[in-house]
Amino acid sequence: MEKKKIPDNVVFNFEKQQYDAALKAYSTSVGAPKITISDTADWKNRGVNNLNNRVQAKYSELKNEYEKMMTQFEYNRLIYESRFSFEPIIGKTYHLYKRENGETFLSIIAPEECNFSSMGSFYLNAEQIWEKID
């Protein structure tokens, strides 16, 4: 068939040389509703905004967790570098003090029972990690 002789409202596939209106995924009749392309800009903007909020929230959580971990690391480093002449027992609370010369030491004596310069009280957990007691 020649292209010129077929009306506009007839769906003819020139490559296959056949009428294929019934095979199309969309309506091909003149009375069919208009095919409109959805505006996805709002959807995309909401998606980007949601992603940004989730990433920011996760970043804040990770940052806070990192800061807690570094604080715990510094306390543990400070305690393990301090002087003590006993073996700390897991599950017990100990107290860290600072001498006038800057040297730190660990003691079983509570701050209210002495006049040393207290740096805090610490609990030795089952993993042998010191946890500061507030």
Q: pTM for the complete prediction?
A: 0.61
Q: What is the pLDDT of residues 51-86, one digit of tens each?
A: 999 999 999 999 999 999 999 999 999 999 999 999
Rounded Cα distance, 33 and 26, in Å: 10
Give the pLDDT confidence score for residue 4 in this predicted structure.
59
CA gap 60, 13 in Å, rounded = 58
CA dist 97 and 82 (Å) reads 9
Residue 109, domain member (yes or no): yes
Four-CA torsion 89, 90, 91, 92, nearest 10 degrees:
30
Residue 69 domain boundaries: 45-134
Residues 6+ apart with CB under 8 A from 123: 91, 92, 93, 94, 130, 131, 133
Q: Which amino acid is at 111?
A: P
Task: Please check whether residue 49 lies inside any domain of the structure.
Answer: yes
Specify if 81 maps to a domain: yes
Count the domains in the chain.
1
Token pair in block for residue 56: 């920011």
Whether 87 maps to a domain, the answer reads yes
Q: Is 71 inside a domain boundary? A: yes
Distance CA(30)–CA(34), nearest Å, equals: 9
Residue 2 lies in a domain: no
Could you read off the pLDDT of 16-26 as tens digits, one per residue?
A: 888 787 777 77
